[in-house]
Amino acid sequence: MDYRVESSETLRNKCAACYRQFNKIEHLVEHMRTSYHSAHEPTCGICKKHCRSFESLREHLIGPLPKQECRNIFSTRGCKFCLAILDSPYALRVHQDRCQLSGVNAGLLGRFANLGIRDNTENGSTRGTQVVALACKMVGGGSDGSLDLCAKVCLIDEYENIIFQSYVKPLLPVTNYRYETTGIRPEYLRDAMPLRQVQKKIQDFLCNGEPMWKIRPRGGKARILVGHGLDHDLDSLQVEYPQVMIRDTAKYPPLMKTSKLSNSLKYLTQAYLGYDIQTGIQDPYEDCVATMKLYMRMRSQVHKTEAYPLASDPQNRNNFASWRQNELERMNPEQMLEASRSDYYCWCLDSRDM
C-alpha cells in the first residue's frame, strides 16, 4: 500500500486516465490537450489505468517494472494474449483456450499453393462480404534485387475463405526470386496473371460498384480493407483506395510498438493470437488470416459509447481548444477525461452499425 499523504491540490491535478500528477491545473489541461485519452485506450483491468498501446499495458502488467499489485493479480487470472482479467483462475483457463488461436495448416497450404489462380471475385457467395484482408509476397527487381515487386497476392473474407489468390507477372524483370522465403520459381510467374489485370480485379472488388470519389466511411457498398503495411502492398499493386476504408495493423496505435514504430506481423500474431507465422516459406494467405484475426479481435472490444462528438469526428479537437481554457481549469480530472476524445478511429466503432 502507498501511504504517502497527497495534498488535495495534487489529487485534484491527477490525470483520471494515466494517473500522472501535475503541480498546476494548467499543466493537467495541457496534458489532456495532447494525450487524447479516451474510453478506447487499452486499460488495465485491475487499476483501470489507461495505456497508449497494448505494449505499454503489457509492460504495466508483466514488464520489467510492473505495477506490483496489478502484476500479482494478473499472474493468477490475467490472459497473456488479450491482457484481460478473468474472475477466477478457472475462468482464465477456459478463456485462454479460446483466446489462443491456431494458425493455418501449413502442410495443407503448401500442397495447394501452386495450384495457381483462385478467383471468386465474380462469385455470388462473396457479394455480401464487407471486410476483406489483403497480403502480397514480393520478389526482387532492379539491378541489386532490392526493389519489391508483387509476385503473389491473396484476398480473403472475414471467415478466412479465399476470394482471390494468384501469382502476378510483374511489369519489370525479376532479378531475385527470394526463393527461401517466397518459394516462388521463375516458371510460376512466366504465364501468371499480368499486374494490370490483378490490379483491376482487386480495385473493382474493393470498390464493389461504388465510384472512388463517392466512397464514404459508412453506409456505402465499398469494402473495409484489412492488412499489415498496406501502403506498400497497394503501391506494388498500383491500387488506390481511400484511407477511411483501410484498417492497417501496422499503423493502428493500440497495436504499435511506439507512436512511430510498428510491430511486425510475426510479433503481433505470436503475442496477441498465440501462434507462429512466417516460418520458412511464407504464403500471403497466412498473413491475410493473421491480420483478419487481429482486426476481428480489435473490432470486438467493448468500449463505452461516447457522447457527441465521437472519436471519429474531426470536431473532437475543439474539446480542448485554447478558447475553453478557463472552463477546462474549472473541471475536475474525471470531467476532463469525459470530454477527452481519441485521436484515432477505434475499430470497435466498425461493429456498431454493421
- Of 28, 46, 277, 288, the one binding Zn ion (CB under 5 A) is 46
Residues in the chain: 354
Closer to Zn ion by CB, 18 or 104: give it. 18
- Of 25, 28, 29, 44, the one binding Zn ion (CB under 5 A) is 44
- The secondary structure of 57-85 as a DSSP string is HHHHHHSSS--HHHHHHHHHHB-TTT--B
Contact characters 98-117, Zn ion, x per CB under 5 A: -x------------------
**Shortest distance (Å) from residue 311 CB to Zn ion:** 7
CA angle at 194 for the pair 106 and 158, rounded to the nearest 5°: 45
- Of 10, 21, 27, 47, the one binding Zn ion (CB under 5 A) is 47
339 binds Zn ion (CB under 5 A): no
150: cell is 508483387
Binding span for Zn ion by CB under 5 A among 29-37, 172-180, 206-214, 260-268: 29-37
Closer to Zn ion by CB, 141 or 254: give it. 254
81 binds Zn ion (CB under 5 A): yes
Q: How far apart are CA 115 and CA 152, in angstroms?
A: 12
SS3 for 265? Answer: helix
51 binds Zn ion (CB under 5 A): no
For Zn ion, the binding residues in 172-231 under the rule CB under 5 A are none
Binding span for Zn ion by CB under 5 A among 37-45, 109-117, 118-126, 146-154: 37-45
Helix pair angle (284-299, 106-113), 10° resolution: 130
Other beta carbons less than 10 A from residue 272's beta carbon: 24
40 binds Zn ion (CB under 5 A): yes
Closer to Zn ion by CB, 35 or 165: give it. 35
Closer to Zn ion by CB, 15 or 294: give it. 15
Q: How far apart are CA 50 and CA 17, in angstroms?
A: 5
- The secondary structure of 158-182 as a DSSP string is TT--EEEEEEEE-SS-EEE--HHHH
62 binds Zn ion (CB under 5 A): no
Helices of type H across the chain: 8-12, 25-35, 54-62, 68-77, 89-99, 106-113, 179-182, 186-190, 195-207, 230-237, 265-268, 284-299, 325-329, 333-339
Binding span for Zn ion by CB under 5 A among 71-79, 132-140, 217-225, 251-259: 71-79
- Of 149, 252, 348, 350, the one binding Zn ion (CB under 5 A) is 348
Closer to Zn ion by CB, 215 or 348: give it. 348
Closer to Zn ion by CB, 60 or 152: give it. 60
- The secondary structure of 118-156 as a DSSP string is EE-TTSGGGTT--EEEEEEEEEEESTTS-EEEEEEEEEE
# residues contacting Zn ion (CB under 5 A): 18
Closer to Zn ion by CB, 178 or 297: give it. 297
Alpha-carbon distances of 142 from 139, 149, 173, rounded to whole Å: 10, 9, 8
294 binds Zn ion (CB under 5 A): no
Query: Which residues sit at the interface with Zn ion, rule CB under 5 A?
Result: 15, 17-18, 35, 40, 44, 46-47, 49, 67, 70, 79, 81-82, 99, 303, 346, 348
